[in-house]
Amino acid sequence: MTRIDGRAANELRNVTIERGWSDQAEGSALISFGRTKVLCTASFTNGVPRWLNGKGKGWVTAEYSMLPRSTNDRMDRESVKGKIGGRTHEISRLIGRSLRAVIDTKALGENTIVIDCDVLQADGGTRTAAITGAYVALADAIEWGRSKGFIGKNAKPIIDSVAAVSVGIIDGEPLLDLAYTEDVRAETDMNVVVTGRGLFVEVQGTAEGAPFDRRELDALLDLALGGAVDLTALQVATLAP
Amino acid sequence: MTRIDGRAANELRNVTIERGWSDQAEGSALISFGRTKVLCTASFTNGVPRWLNGKGKGWVTAEYSMLPRSTNDRMDRESVKGKIGGRTHEISRLIGRSLRAVIDTKALGENTIVIDCDVLQADGGTRTAAITGAYVALADAIEWGRSKGFIGKNAKPIIDSVAAVSVGIIDGEPLLDLAYTEDVRAETDMNVVVTGRGLFVEVQGTAEGAPFDRRELDALLDLALGGAVDLTALQVATLAP
Amino acid sequence: MTRIDGRAANELRNVTIERGWSDQAEGSALISFGRTKVLCTASFTNGVPRWLNGKGKGWVTAEYSMLPRSTNDRMDRESVKGKIGGRTHEISRLIGRSLRAVIDTKALGENTIVIDCDVLQADGGTRTAAITGAYVALADAIEWGRSKGFIGKNAKPIIDSVAAVSVGIIDGEPLLDLAYTEDVRAETDMNVVVTGRGLFVEVQGTAEGAPFDRRELDALLDLALGGAVDLTALQVATLAP
Amino acid sequence: MTRIDGRAANELRNVTIERGWSDQAEGSALISFGRTKVLCTASFTNGVPRWLNGKGKGWVTAEYSMLPRSTNDRMDRESVKGKIGGRTHEISRLIGRSLRAVIDTKALGENTIVIDCDVLQADGGTRTAAITGAYVALADAIEWGRSKGFIGKNAKPIIDSVAAVSVGIIDGEPLLDLAYTEDVRAETDMNVVVTGRGLFVEVQGTAEGAPFDRRELDALLDLALGGAVDLTALQVATLAP
Amino acid sequence: MTRIDGRAANELRNVTIERGWSDQAEGSALISFGRTKVLCTASFTNGVPRWLNGKGKGWVTAEYSMLPRSTNDRMDRESVKGKIGGRTHEISRLIGRSLRAVIDTKALGENTIVIDCDVLQADGGTRTAAITGAYVALADAIEWGRSKGFIGKNAKPIIDSVAAVSVGIIDGEPLLDLAYTEDVRAETDMNVVVTGRGLFVEVQGTAEGAPFDRRELDALLDLALGGAVDLTALQVATLAP
Amino acid sequence: MTRIDGRAANELRNVTIERGWSDQAEGSALISFGRTKVLCTASFTNGVPRWLNGKGKGWVTAEYSMLPRSTNDRMDRESVKGKIGGRTHEISRLIGRSLRAVIDTKALGENTIVIDCDVLQADGGTRTAAITGAYVALADAIEWGRSKGFIGKNAKPIIDSVAAVSVGIIDGEPLLDLAYTEDVRAETDMNVVVTGRGLFVEVQGTAEGAPFDRRELDALLDLALGGAVDLTALQVATLAP
């Protein structure tokens, strides 16, 4: 099968990360997976939410949102509708869990980092792009906190890096990093979150069309782990001093 | 490791399904996984939502909710808070997708089935119990629709059965069907939705503590497939005439 | 006139109370009036809402809700609609007032009891069933609080018992405990809340069809007082050690 | 017992009705019960809500609200809180039911009348004042509809008039038309809605302090019926051509 | 051009202010601009919102609302819709800013005054009537606070008076104080808030039809300043002891 | 007085417009006023809202929003709060009115254009930047509609161009295009919307500190008209083929 943009089955789209995009946030990254563009900002606050007070731990959380015309058809704003939809909730929670999986909240100290992932343009894979970019913003916010003395000089709040990628099966063939036109045709769709050391943080596979068997699942996981290696390398290069 | 209730690692809790619990709904089941009790009702309506009009297809959707005192500590009602939380949204969507994966909406015809899964008592595994019980309610609602002439005599809207079970890793050991006290200790937590033929519909694995490797993932999938066989057998027995 | 289920005009439906239904709540009762089933749980918390702080008094409140398919036609969830309807508010307030009428909040001490009445199946008289069952749950929660030392050994927070029943006029005849099919035909509908000693806590009579006169009102009150005697006896028997 | 304003136990406060207060509404009345002032407007629309389409019947409904500083302490606006409280819902529903009890919706034809009762100043008895004033506004709106030809010349949509009054027991003594300072002291509080012919539309008695017995209930009903006679006379005089 | 009510181009409608309309509020005024009637109340509270704590300053804020049938066609209540519209927000903010412009919050001390402007009947110019009436209510609330000792005897929280008026261009002619039927025809519509000393607090001009030029803007400002002189005189007379 | 960035009193910040930023929208522009960056997209739909059906006219509307970390301190999302704040409403309405002032909706035909202005980074003047950028997005969306045949070949829906700029008085000196640090110090703050022909669409002046006199108002309007000439020239250059 030939992919619409001529990529190999195990090839990522062109991925770029513009570190420090924002003049305001303590950490930020504008990440692109092909035409998908997500602005990730990390807001550092000294102190924790009330329910964590006095436990000597920090907190990392995330919110995801799409601009109304990030998509091909304009969507109504969730602020106008007065409520957040299930998909948005689900993705915000996924990003938060993924980042917390590589954070030692004790080493972070009583500090809070809120990650905002706003999709400026969507062409498939927005949640995995968000996680991959959010890690860069988070890392910079932590260094900012260290530079201000909120985090100890030798504290290591970051245990590992984290990146994410989507994989799917189209016409029986497993493919890495689906663009939107591929995503809508996929029989099975899987988002995989992987640490820099190659361990799984999240595996979320869904049969959109036909249910899938163990062999297909294995092929998708192989593809995802391969893609994660490349994304990790890009994160490392981006964060290099 | 000995489990709190003396079960083997690959043993389900006592699972029972009370088919036809409701005098009102077209299909219903009160399912118990140990102390977890979920009331599943299926409401059959002739006709479809406007966006499906005239496409010759039916629709199946689901809503999940917990009674405020189904849990050990009382939770505020989402109706009182005026909004539905992310977890509720996520689970409602999961149940809906899982059921639709085994339904041929063309064969269903222009009919709508709404599944309500209300947790009366919660002790871990409520979403997987909900899916397993919802299938029974759904099957009965479809037969009701057939008996009323809304579904053709020879139409086969049900392609396969579907059941779900949770698995997790505690102290390095993979365990089937976690009770609440186990769930909170699990390093990794996975919900697996499987068809009667043994194919995956959903695989949702989350590293709550440490990230997991490929070998652990495989062990969890093995356990889940085994548990699903037992649940499928119970569904078949329950639905036997 | 013959009633649909053959009852006499002054006869209750079959009423049962399953005390201690819940493994989680401090007090609970699953009450049935014929096909009407309401799960009542009482959640005991040491301490009071902020506005009662330091007054040496406790607080009892209630919330009522119907499962979406407790009724013949499925209703939308109030959590999904994002707001609670007037009828729900009205009944929640009625249950709370009825219970507080038999509680000495000083003797209760600075403790809070929240009663949840969730209608699992509705066939008329859900609010009166809720009050009658809620009293049993409340009584058990208070004994739980005493056993934990939150309520003094000799304190008597319960002044009297409380039960409720509906009455109505159909085709000019006063009837006790209306089932749903009777309720929709009633010209006048009245809910009466009565203490174990036979005093009124609430009298809520509404002319659904034609306005009613003093003689009809008197007949309805007579019926209600009679039914309340039976309900009180059942409560006493249920709570017997 | 001497009442704060020197009234006899069976004496209404000074009640006035300013018919046609509004230049905009099809019917309106500014009613005062002592310092309590409620502006009632009736908005007439040709046509009915969708659920009544084609049934040849009209619809009458009501909304009640209090201005934020109608009371001694300022209350937050329900529009600012983003939801309507239980008390507001309860009273709006009561007013609507009370008015519909004296309307023949078939004779009204497919027309809708919305009654708005806005409390400009509150000193007890706002719901009963609202009902009493709303009837005047409603009657005028119906005549407006007749004058425009929306209601037939000989149609009689108004079956009877309707008025309401509060009664209560203070220090054991039954009193008519409680002012706010009396209302907060009442052991029992009852709102009674009565037609011009002296029949009951609603009887809502609540034990705020101690439960009440049959004799007390009877005394309160006597007082209410007496007060209703005076209110009916005032309505008749107000509506006289 | 002849105006519908025969006024000259630079003539206000009949403006009246009924000071102290409310028995409950610390300050109040019922203001009429022709058929436009706005009830303004000022609620004085000792203390400030949390974010102002300990700064030695007071706070003045305002809320604007329209009764549903204040207008020619009934509008839905914002409390029923569950949210406040943009226009309401805009006007509430305008009134608050206008009043704060003439208040020395240090001299006010740590006290809060909330102004409620509720439109009882609307015929154009409701926001400007609200500001003009609100000033009177505010002034009286401040004197109430002084009489209770919350404001120092010699403190001067009021720096200047403030009034507002609308102006607009119809058929090329600048007109003062537009009634509703004029307002809908206006090409340009301007609301001008002016202090007693003749300085501008707000100038809000909008081209409803054609954009306007500098000369037209100047003519409108001249008209507005003239009208403000008359309104200031009326405020002074109303507040005279 | 020297401005923080060395600008002259009548000098704009560096303004750039990146036309066609979005691959998805029918028209788009990323506009920067110094560090302020606003993404404007125009979504073209054939057809109009129901209330405009069959009138042969089109509709242009706008929504404004800020990313949570566009500002120096992170703000809560309005979607999370469940309601839109007054400031957001106010600005959305201002943008919509400003654009409609230069559109001939009859020439637009029965088409709808929704403009979304999302502030990616905020440093003062976001609403005026939004209007200026929105005009470019709108112009491109209209050409898109023409190219698709939704707008007639010779139809001229655009009557004039429109741009906006803020002006203010700091320490008595009138300044053009305030940056955030200037804005917070301004005594008077004015937003002026001007067409390409130099006519006013909106003039919104607010005394943040001291009220302002006629001479100051004139000086601000002069500055604004000068700035608008430069912005118009940039729009023309940007839209040149």
Are D82 and E77 a contacting pair at CB < 8 A?
A: no
Given a contact cutoff of 8 angstroms between Cβ atoms, the answer to whether A75 and A126 are in contact is: no
Nearest to C90 among D86, D206, D210 (CB): D86
pLDDT bin (cut points 50, 70, 90) of residue F1 is low
Ligand-binding annotation for B127, yes or no, is: yes
Asked if D72 is an interface residue toward chain E (Cβ–Cβ < 8 A), one would say yes
Are A214 and B201 a contacting pair at CB < 8 A?
A: no
pLDDT in tens, A37-63: 999 999 999 999 999 999 999 999 999
If you average pLDDT over residues F178-193, what whole number do you get?
Answer: 94
If you average pLDDT over residues B15-24, what whole number do you get?
Answer: 97
E14 Cα to chain D: minimum distance (Å) = 16
| pLDDT computed for residue C77 by the predictor | 96
pLDDT in tens, F51-70: 999 999 999 999 999 999 99
Most C CBs within 10 Å: which of B21, B46, B69, B123, as the mutation test of the C interface? B69
pLDDT in tens, B129-142: 999 999 999 999 99
The DSSP call for residue E201 is E
If you average pLDDT over residues B120-132, what whole number do you get?
Answer: 98
Residues in chain D closer than 8 A to E65 (CB atoms): 77, 79
Structure tokens at B189: 């937590």
Mean pLDDT, chain A, as a whole number?
A: 95
pLDDT in tens, F81-129: 988 998 999 999 999 999 999 999 999 999 999 999 999 999 999 999 9
Residues in chain B closer than 8 A to A226 (CB atoms): none
Cα torsion B191, B196, B200, B202 to 10°: value is: -40
pLDDT in tens, B83-110: 899 899 999 999 999 999 999 999 999 9
Given a contact cutoff of 8 angstroms between Cβ atoms, the answer to whether C200 and D217 are in contact is: yes
pLDDT in tens, A202-219: 999 999 888 999 999 999
C52 Cα to chain B: minimum distance (Å) = 20
Instruction: Evaluate if residue A187 carries a pLDDT over 80.
Output: yes
Asked if C61 is an interface residue toward chain D (Cβ–Cβ < 8 A), one would say no
Residues in chain D closer than 8 A to E49 (CB atoms): none
Asked if D206 is an interface residue toward chain C (Cβ–Cβ < 8 A), one would say yes
Q: What are phi and psi of A6, to 5 degrees?
A: 75, 5
Asked if E160 is an interface residue toward chain F (Cβ–Cβ < 8 A), one would say yes
Separation between Cα atoms, residue C152 and residue C145, nearest integer Å: 9
Most D CBs within 10 Å: which of E35, E67, E119, E181, as the mutation test of the D interface? E67
Are A24 and F72 a contacting pair at CB < 8 A?
A: yes
Here the ipTM equals 0.94
Most E CBs within 10 Å: which of D18, D26, D74, as the mutation test of the E interface? D74
Most C CBs within 10 Å: which of B30, B37, B67, as the mutation test of the C interface? B67
The DSSP call for residue B104 is -
Burial tier of E49 (Cβ tally within 10 Å: 0-12, 13-18, 19+): exposed
Instruction: Evaluate if residue B1 carries a pLDDT over 70.
Output: no
| pLDDT computed for residue A210 by the predictor | 86
Asked if D214 is an interface residue toward chain C (Cβ–Cβ < 8 A), one would say yes
Length of chain D: 241
If you average pLDDT over residues E174-189, what whole number do you get?
Answer: 94
Among candidate residues A215, A234, A137, the one with its CA nearest the CA of residue A177: A234
Q: Give Cα separations from E90 to B118, D226, E127, F101, F165 (angstroms).
A: 43, 50, 10, 20, 20
pLDDT bin (cut points 50, 70, 90) of residue A1 is low
Residues in chain D closer than 8 A to E88 (CB atoms): 79
Across-strand partners of A202? A193, B206
Burial tier of E239 (Cβ tally within 10 Å: 0-12, 13-18, 19+): middle
Burial tier of A23 (Cβ tally within 10 Å: 0-12, 13-18, 19+): exposed
Among candidate residues C113, C101, C111, the one with its CA nearest the CA of residue C155: C111
pTM (predicted TM-score): 0.90
Separation between Cα atoms, residue C171 and residue C125, nearest integer Å: 19
Residues 6+ positions from E92 with CB-CB distance below 8 Å: E62, E63, E64, F86
Nearest to A116 among F63, F67, F88 (CB): F67
CA atoms within 13 A on the CB side of A168: 25
Ligand-binding annotation for F56, yes or no, is: no
Mean pLDDT, chain C, as a whole number?
A: 95
pLDDT in tens, A94-114: 999 999 999 999 999 999 999
Asked if A22 is an interface residue toward chain F (Cβ–Cβ < 8 A), one would say yes
If you average pLDDT over residues C221-231, what whole number do you get?
Answer: 97
Across-strand partners of C113? C44, C60
Q: Give Cα separations from D6 to D2, D175, D179, E47 (angstroms).
A: 6, 12, 12, 37
Mean pLDDT, chain D, as a whole number?
A: 95
| pLDDT computed for residue E210 by the predictor | 86
Contact partners for chain C, using 3 or more CB pairs closer than 8 A, are B, D
Say how many C-beta atoms besides its own lie within 10 A of residue F154's C-beta.
Answer: 7
C99 Cα to chain D: minimum distance (Å) = 11
Residue D64's H or E segment, with its range, is strand D59-66
According to DSSP, the β-strands at B59-66 and B111-121 are parallel
Asked if E80 is an interface residue toward chain D (Cβ–Cβ < 8 A), one would say yes
A vs B: CB pairs below 8 A: 91
Are C116 and B74 a contacting pair at CB < 8 A?
A: yes
For chain E, what is the total number of helices (H) and then of strands (E)?
Answer: 6, 9
Mean pLDDT, chain E, as a whole number?
A: 95
Are A118 and F43 a contacting pair at CB < 8 A?
A: no
If you average pLDDT over residues C205-229, what whole number do you get?
Answer: 94
Q: What are phi and psi of B70, to 5 degrees?
A: -70, -20
pLDDT in tens, C18-72: 999 999 999 999 999 999 999 999 999 999 999 999 999 999 999 999 999 999 9
Nearest to D116 among E45, E63, E68 (CB): E68
Instruction: Evaluate if residue D218 carries a pLDDT over 90.
Output: yes
Nearest to B211 among A87, A92, A201 (CB): A201
| pLDDT computed for residue F66 by the predictor | 98
Nearest chain E residue to D24, by CA: E72
Give me the residue spans of the domains in chain C: 15-239
Are E69 and D22 a contacting pair at CB < 8 A?
A: yes
B133-165: burial string, b at 16+ Cβ within 10 Å, e else: bbbbbbbbbbbbbeeeebbeeebebbbbbbbbb
Report DSSP letters for F177-208, one per residue.
Answer: S--HHHHTT-SEEEEEEEETTS-EEEEEEEES
Burial tier of A41 (Cβ tally within 10 Å: 0-12, 13-18, 19+): buried
A109 Cα to chain F: minimum distance (Å) = 20
Instruction: Evaluate if residue A226 carries a pLDDT over 90.
Output: yes
| pLDDT computed for residue D1 by the predictor | 63
| pLDDT computed for residue E176 by the predictor | 97
pLDDT in tens, B221-238: 999 999 999 999 999 999
A15-239 belongs to which CATH class? alpha beta
Residues 6+ positions from C222 with CB-CB distance below 8 Å: C174
Are E69 and D116 a contacting pair at CB < 8 A?
A: yes
If you average pLDDT over residues E67-78, what whole number do you get?
Answer: 96
Nearest chain F residue to E89, by CA: F86
Say how many C-beta atoms besides its own lie within 10 A of residue D209's C-beta.
Answer: 13
Nearest chain E residue to D30, by CA: E120
Binding-site residues of A, in ranges, read 87, 125-127
According to DSSP, the β-strands at D59-66 and D111-121 are parallel
pLDDT in tens, B152-176: 999 999 999 999 999 999 999 999 9
Across-strand partners of E168? E175, E189
Asked if B65 is an interface residue toward chain C (Cβ–Cβ < 8 A), one would say yes
| pLDDT computed for residue E130 by the predictor | 98
Are D201 and C211 a contacting pair at CB < 8 A?
A: yes
Residue B223's H or E segment, with its range, is helix B214-239
Among candidate residues E196, B164, E134, C221, the one with its CA nearest the CA of residue D216: C221
If you average pLDDT over residues E36-55, what whole number do you get?
Answer: 95
Structure tokens at E18: 């009924």
| pLDDT computed for residue D12 by the predictor | 97
Nearest to F120 among A39, A65, A68 (CB): A39
Instruction: Evaluate if residue E4 carries a pLDDT over 90.
Output: no
| pLDDT computed for residue D59 by the predictor | 97
